[in-house]
Amino acid sequence: MPEITVNLPNEPYSIVIETGVLSQLGERVSPLAPHARCLLAMDSHVVQPHGEIARQSLEKAGYEVVPATLIAEERHKTLAAAESLYRVMLHARLERRSPVIALGGGIVGDIAGYAAATFLRGVPLIHVPTTLLAMVDASIGGKTGVNFPLHSLGEANDDGLGKNLVGAFCQPRIVIADPLTLQTLERRDLVCGLAECIKHAVVADAALMEWIDRHADDVLHLNMDRLTELITRSASIKAKIVAEDERERGQRAMLNLGHTFAHAMESIREMDVRHGEAVAIGIHAAAHIAVESRRMLAAEQASLLAAIARCGLPARLPHAALIDRLMYAMTFDKKVADGKMRLVLPRGIGAADVVDDVPLELVRQAWLHIGAAE
């Protein structure tokens, strides 16, 4: 059974990846967070059947389970959603030792994680990711948070979501990933997870990119052995980078490849992109800048685009938003100084750099290249 350790100096934890492990949730959690009661925060789309399996297992291990349901949509990933969990926890008289168990995709993990980080100044958190994206990325590394809508700012172009503008670091006690839960996931959401796997390959592991290219079809057909292998390889990359730089003071920033573009896209309602799709398009934009600035060979960009296509991911904007709006949305993610921006740029496939002085003109050109309107 694959088990990865996130080797943080103060609070190391395991990522367990195994088909069927959801039914052992209670026995896995109880030694790490012993208490009479727990909060089970569930994505509304996984209450049946996965939530029921989780609840039964937790009860078998002796927990009284307090259930809560969250809607996994970016416009609901707000402080109000975290508040709804605080209310349930207060009503049930949950205490400082009562664990919060987040069962769902990245949205539920981020909201429930933020509630766990802040309720009573922090309660134990357990991640039980049920999307590929959350298994390989969102559940690992302790970033939690919610969006903060920009309409409160009273500026022009301010209808955006304000992606992840409010948050906290909160490492889980354990991550339990059961690939069988992916059987109920819509194909579009499964495909989204492949974007973060491609990101991990681009920044750290050229062989993983070849693997994805070769086995993407098996993964999309839910071959459990292949899925388990992909989750293990991809999660290991994230775990290693996080262990070396928990608070993103150095190389963890590499994992933001494509994300400054992605967050700007996600901020624009009409764009209608999921996070993984936005990441794939954003990686394409970053690769374009890398090729233009002679950091990456055009042939490597071509094989990256082939892998994105093989996975069924988009590489261009689905809606031709105005470039000025996209550039404005980007400034909430990254500071612009002296006409330059800090971005992660690939140095071929398998390595990347954080570059502090990317000229804004190159960023504009990249947006136009992926389909923005002037």
Ligand X SMILES: NC(=O)c1ccc[n+]([C@@H]2O[C@H](COP(=O)([O-])OP(=O)(O)OC[C@H]3O[C@@H](n4cnc5c(N)ncnc54)[C@H](O)[C@@H]3O)[C@@H](O)[C@H]2O)c1
The contact set with ligand X (CB under 6 A) reads: 43, 45-46, 72, 74, 77, 104-108, 110, 130-131, 133-134, 137-138, 141, 143, 164, 181-182, 184-185, 189, 192, 275-276
User: Nearer to ligand X by C-beta: 130 or 267?
Assistant: 130
Q: How far is the CB of 238 from ligand X (least distance, A)?
A: 8
Q: How far is the CB of 142 from ligand X (least distance, A)?
A: 8
**What is the per-residue DSSP string for 118-135?**
HGGG---EEEEE-SHHII
Q: How far is the CB of 232 from ligand X (least distance, A)?
A: 18
Q: How far is the CB of 145 from ligand X (least distance, A)?
A: 7
User: Nearer to ligand X by C-beta: 235 or 326?
Assistant: 235
Q: How far is the CB of 136 from ligand X (least distance, A)?
A: 9
Q: Nearest-CA neighbor of 369 among 291, 263, 268? A: 291
User: Nearer to ligand X by C-beta: 200 or 295?
Assistant: 200
User: Nearer to ligand X by C-beta: 184 or 331?
Assistant: 184
User: Nearer to ligand X by C-beta: 133 or 341?
Assistant: 133
Backbone angles phi and psi of 319, in degrees to 5? -140, 130
In the sheet with 13-17, reading across from the earlier edge strand, the strands are 3-6, 13-17, 174-177, 125-129, 100-104, 37-43, 64-70
Q: How far is the CB of 2 from ligand X (least distance, A)?
A: 19
Backbone angles phi and psi of 58, in degrees to 5? -65, -40
Three-state DSSP at 321 gives coil
User: Nearer to ligand X by C-beta: 72 or 202?
Assistant: 72
Q: How far apart are the C-alpha atoms of 212 and 355, rounded to whole Å?
A: 27
In the sheet with 340-346, reading across from the earlier edge strand, the strands are 336-337, 340-346, 352-359
Q: How far apart are the C-alpha atoms of 100 and 85, rounded to whole Å?
A: 10
User: Nearer to ligand X by C-beta: 202 or 296?
Assistant: 202
Q: How many CB atoms lie within 10 A of CB 24?
A: 16
Q: How far is the CB of 20 from ligand X (least distance, A)?
A: 14
Looking at residue 71, its amino acid is I
Taking the C-alpha atoms of 39, 147, 161 and 68 in order, what is their torsion angle to the nearest 10 degrees?
Answer: 10
Closest residue to ligand X: CB criterion? 106
Longest dimension (CA), the chain: 60
